[in-house]
A = this chain, B = another copy of it.
Amino acid sequence: MTKPLPNTAYAVLGFLTSREPMSGYEVRKSAENLHYFYWSPAQSQIYSELRRLAAHGYVTSELVRQDGKPDKRLYQITEAGTTAFRVWLNETPAEPTMMKHAMLLRLFFGQSAEPARLGVLLEQFISDGEEALAQIAIVREYAELDPDARWQGIVAAWSEAHFTTEIAFARELLRRLADGEL
Protein backbone atom coordinates (compact mmCIF):
# COMPACT_ATOMS: atom_id res chain seq x y z
CA MET A 1 0.00 0.00 0.00
CA THR A 2 1.29 3.46 -0.85
CA LYS A 3 1.56 5.97 1.95
CA PRO A 4 -1.82 7.53 2.74
CA LEU A 5 -2.37 11.08 1.61
CA PRO A 6 -3.53 13.81 4.02
CA ASN A 7 -7.28 14.25 4.47
CA THR A 8 -7.06 17.42 2.43
CA ALA A 9 -6.28 15.35 -0.62
CA TYR A 10 -9.27 13.08 -0.09
CA ALA A 11 -11.56 16.05 0.39
CA VAL A 12 -10.52 17.34 -3.04
CA LEU A 13 -10.90 13.86 -4.48
CA GLY A 14 -14.37 13.68 -2.94
CA PHE A 15 -15.52 16.70 -4.89
CA LEU A 16 -14.20 15.22 -8.11
CA THR A 17 -16.11 12.00 -7.42
CA SER A 18 -19.47 13.62 -7.74
CA ARG A 19 -19.46 16.50 -10.17
CA GLU A 20 -17.16 15.23 -12.88
CA PRO A 21 -14.46 17.32 -14.55
CA MET A 22 -13.78 20.40 -12.45
CA SER A 23 -11.24 23.18 -12.53
CA GLY A 24 -9.22 24.14 -9.47
CA TYR A 25 -11.39 27.18 -9.21
CA GLU A 26 -14.57 25.13 -9.04
CA VAL A 27 -13.06 22.80 -6.43
CA ARG A 28 -12.14 25.85 -4.42
CA LYS A 29 -15.72 27.12 -4.52
CA SER A 30 -17.06 23.72 -3.49
CA ALA A 31 -14.57 23.51 -0.67
CA GLU A 32 -16.06 26.60 0.91
CA ASN A 33 -18.90 24.38 2.06
CA LEU A 34 -16.44 22.64 4.36
CA HIS A 35 -15.71 25.92 6.02
CA TYR A 36 -17.60 25.41 9.26
CA PHE A 37 -16.42 21.95 10.22
CA TYR A 38 -13.23 21.38 8.29
CA TRP A 39 -10.69 23.47 6.61
CA SER A 40 -11.17 26.84 8.07
CA PRO A 41 -9.53 29.11 5.67
CA ALA A 42 -8.16 29.84 2.32
CA GLN A 43 -6.67 27.46 -0.13
CA SER A 44 -4.56 28.59 -2.96
CA GLN A 45 -2.98 25.22 -2.48
CA ILE A 46 -5.95 23.35 -3.78
CA TYR A 47 -3.94 23.80 -6.93
CA SER A 48 -0.89 22.08 -5.49
CA GLU A 49 -3.15 19.39 -4.05
CA LEU A 50 -4.53 18.75 -7.52
CA ARG A 51 -1.00 18.51 -8.92
CA ARG A 52 -0.10 16.01 -6.23
CA LEU A 53 -3.19 13.93 -6.97
CA ALA A 54 -2.16 13.94 -10.62
CA ALA A 55 1.34 12.77 -9.66
CA HIS A 56 -0.28 9.85 -7.83
CA GLY A 57 -2.37 9.01 -10.85
CA TYR A 58 -5.60 9.76 -9.00
CA VAL A 59 -6.64 12.46 -11.44
CA THR A 60 -5.89 13.38 -15.04
CA SER A 61 -5.98 16.91 -16.35
CA GLU A 62 -6.56 18.69 -19.58
CA LEU A 63 -6.00 22.30 -20.51
CA VAL A 64 -9.10 24.02 -21.85
CA ARG A 65 -8.91 27.27 -23.77
CA GLN A 66 -11.67 29.71 -23.12
CA ASP A 67 -12.36 33.10 -24.55
CA GLY A 68 -13.84 35.76 -22.43
CA LYS A 69 -12.07 34.04 -19.52
CA PRO A 70 -8.55 32.84 -18.75
CA ASP A 71 -7.68 29.29 -19.78
CA LYS A 72 -8.39 26.63 -17.23
CA ARG A 73 -7.29 23.12 -16.41
CA LEU A 74 -9.99 20.51 -15.96
CA TYR A 75 -9.32 17.63 -13.60
CA GLN A 76 -11.02 14.27 -13.84
CA ILE A 77 -10.80 11.47 -11.30
CA THR A 78 -9.36 8.13 -12.45
CA GLU A 79 -10.30 4.56 -11.55
CA ALA A 80 -7.38 4.49 -9.11
CA GLY A 81 -8.56 7.77 -7.62
CA THR A 82 -12.09 6.50 -7.08
CA THR A 83 -10.75 3.38 -5.39
CA ALA A 84 -8.40 5.36 -3.15
CA PHE A 85 -11.25 7.64 -2.14
CA ARG A 86 -13.56 4.79 -1.24
CA VAL A 87 -10.87 3.06 0.76
CA TRP A 88 -10.24 6.25 2.69
CA LEU A 89 -13.95 6.84 3.28
CA ASN A 90 -14.89 3.32 4.29
CA GLU A 91 -11.80 1.83 5.85
CA THR A 92 -9.85 4.63 7.46
CA PRO A 93 -10.81 5.43 11.06
CA ALA A 94 -11.58 9.09 11.62
CA GLU A 95 -8.80 11.00 13.35
CA PRO A 96 -9.81 12.81 16.53
CA THR A 97 -11.35 16.21 15.92
CA MET A 98 -8.85 18.98 16.15
CA MET A 99 -9.96 22.41 17.29
CA LYS A 100 -8.36 25.78 17.57
CA HIS A 101 -10.88 27.46 19.81
CA ALA A 102 -9.48 30.94 20.33
CA MET A 103 -12.37 31.95 22.62
CA LEU A 104 -11.79 29.00 24.95
CA LEU A 105 -8.06 29.67 24.92
CA ARG A 106 -8.74 33.16 26.22
CA LEU A 107 -11.22 31.94 28.81
CA PHE A 108 -8.68 29.39 29.99
CA PHE A 109 -6.50 32.30 31.07
CA GLY A 110 -9.54 34.21 32.33
CA GLN A 111 -8.07 34.90 35.74
CA SER A 112 -5.55 37.24 34.11
CA ALA A 113 -8.28 39.13 32.26
CA GLU A 114 -10.63 41.96 33.09
CA PRO A 115 -14.14 40.49 33.36
CA ALA A 116 -15.64 43.37 31.41
CA ARG A 117 -13.36 42.68 28.45
CA LEU A 118 -14.21 39.00 28.53
CA GLY A 119 -17.82 40.07 28.28
CA VAL A 120 -17.08 42.03 25.13
CA LEU A 121 -15.26 39.05 23.63
CA LEU A 122 -18.15 36.75 24.51
CA GLU A 123 -20.68 39.07 22.93
CA GLN A 124 -18.68 39.15 19.73
CA PHE A 125 -18.36 35.37 19.87
CA ILE A 126 -22.13 35.01 20.21
CA SER A 127 -22.91 37.29 17.31
CA ASP A 128 -20.36 35.51 15.10
CA GLY A 129 -22.02 32.25 16.07
CA GLU A 130 -25.44 33.56 15.15
CA GLU A 131 -24.11 34.66 11.81
CA ALA A 132 -22.69 31.18 11.25
CA LEU A 133 -26.01 29.60 12.23
CA ALA A 134 -27.82 31.72 9.67
CA GLN A 135 -25.41 30.70 6.92
CA ILE A 136 -25.61 27.03 7.81
CA ALA A 137 -29.41 27.11 7.95
CA ILE A 138 -29.43 28.22 4.32
CA VAL A 139 -27.27 25.25 3.36
CA ARG A 140 -29.43 22.84 5.34
CA GLU A 141 -32.66 24.16 3.88
CA TYR A 142 -31.29 23.90 0.38
CA ALA A 143 -30.06 20.37 1.07
CA GLU A 144 -33.46 19.28 2.28
CA LEU A 145 -34.85 19.90 -1.21
CA ASP A 146 -32.22 17.78 -2.95
CA PRO A 147 -32.02 14.04 -2.23
CA ASP A 148 -28.43 13.94 -3.50
CA ALA A 149 -27.50 16.48 -0.85
CA ARG A 150 -28.88 14.40 2.00
CA TRP A 151 -25.53 14.02 3.76
CA GLN A 152 -24.63 17.65 3.28
CA GLY A 153 -27.88 18.40 5.06
CA ILE A 154 -27.02 16.06 7.91
CA VAL A 155 -23.62 17.69 8.31
CA ALA A 156 -25.27 21.11 8.27
CA ALA A 157 -27.70 20.03 10.97
CA TRP A 158 -24.80 18.69 13.05
CA SER A 159 -22.99 22.00 12.66
CA GLU A 160 -26.10 23.83 13.75
CA ALA A 161 -26.22 21.70 16.89
CA HIS A 162 -22.60 22.58 17.51
CA PHE A 163 -23.06 26.33 17.17
CA THR A 164 -26.27 26.25 19.20
CA THR A 165 -24.39 24.62 22.08
CA GLU A 166 -21.59 27.13 21.80
CA ILE A 167 -23.94 30.08 21.87
CA ALA A 168 -25.92 28.70 24.80
CA PHE A 169 -22.79 28.23 26.88
CA ALA A 170 -21.46 31.67 26.00
CA ARG A 171 -24.76 33.28 27.00
CA GLU A 172 -24.74 31.41 30.28
CA LEU A 173 -21.23 32.69 31.02
CA LEU A 174 -22.24 36.20 30.10
CA ARG A 175 -25.11 35.99 32.57
CA ARG A 176 -22.78 34.79 35.31
CA LEU A 177 -20.39 37.64 34.52
CA ALA A 178 -23.21 40.15 34.70
CA ASP A 179 -24.32 38.70 38.04
CA GLY A 180 -20.80 39.21 39.34
CA GLU A 181 -20.36 35.50 39.95
CA LEU A 182 -17.04 35.47 38.10
Contact = CB atoms under 8 A, between A and B. Distances in A.
Interface of A: 7, 10-11, 14, 17-18, 33-34, 36-41, 85-86, 89-91, 93-114, 117, 121, 124-125, 128, 148, 150-152, 154-155, 157-159, 161-162, 165-166, 168-169, 173, 182
Contact of A98 (B94, B100, B109, B173): B100
A177 to B, nearest CB: 11
A17 to B, nearest CB: 6
A105 B162 contact: no
A38 B169 contact: no
Nearest to A85: B112
Nearest to A152: B108
Contacts of A151: 107-111
Given A151-B108, A165-B162, A165-B165, A89 B113 contact: yes
Given A37-B101, A40-B98, 7 more contacts: A14-B112, A34-B105, A41-B98, A86-B112, A86-B113, A97-B101, A107-B158
A97 B107 contact: no
A104 B7 contact: no
A103 B112 contact: no
24 contacts: A17-B112, A18-B112, A34-B108, A36-B99, A37-B99, A37-B104, A37-B108, A38-B99, A38-B100, A39-B100, A85-B112, A89-B109, A89-B117, A90-B113, A90-B114, A95-B100, A96-B102, A97-B101, A104-B159, A108-B155, A110-B150, A110-B154, A157-B169, A161-B165
Contacts of A39: 100
Nearest to A158: B169
